[in-house]
Structure formats: C-alpha cells, structure tokens
Amino acid sequence: MPKVTFHINGQATEVEDAAGKTILQIALDNGVPIEHACGGNGFCTTCLCKVKSGGENLGDRNDKEENMGITEENERLGCQATVNGDVELEVIEV
C-alpha cells in the first residue's frame, strides 16, 4: 500500500491506502481535511497540492488538470492525480 504524507498548515499526517485512488479520495477516506469545492470533479483548484517528493508515483496529468492551468511539474489536483506509490504533498490552502 502506498504511503501518502500530507503537509497542511505545518502539520504532517501520514496515511497508507490502496493504490489507484486519487489524492482526494485517500485524504477523505483517512480523515485528512482537504478542500474540494467542486465535489472532486476537476472544475476548481481548491484541492491543489504541491508535490514535495514521489511525483513519479502519481498517474499522468490529465486534461482536466491542464484545462485548469495546472501545468507545473510539482503541482497536481488532488481530485485527479492517482497514487501508485509513496508520495509526500503540501496541500495548498486557498
């Protein structure tokens, strides 16, 4: 199971969950608070995350992310990026 470390407001929370889920799904399933104003449909950027390490363990960037202007290598939408291995993220508070 992949290990996901969330950094939110200076607090680190580490969880393990099944591969293939999105960052947002993993956060919600494990009680990690993460904004998702559009309900996880990729139409806002409230679940924006900065990848601190393990970016190679995330699925490929999709059209929804690119359409929302998320093109920086270390930025991903939590509702769209799938986790396939260990990753460390900073949740961007908007």
Please write the tens of the pLDDT for every residue from 20-48: 999 999 999 999 999 999 999 999 999 99
d(CA 67, CA 82): 17
Q: What are the C-alpha distances in Å from 32 to residues 25, 60, 69?
A: 10, 23, 25
Phi/psi at 25 (5° precision): -60, -45
Residue 33 buriedness (CB in 10 A; 0-12 / 13-18 / 19+): exposed
69-90 tens-digit pLDDT:
999 999 999 999 999 999 999 9
Fold of 3-91: Ubiquitin-like (UB roll) (3.10.20)
pTM: 0.95
d(CA 19, CA 25): 11
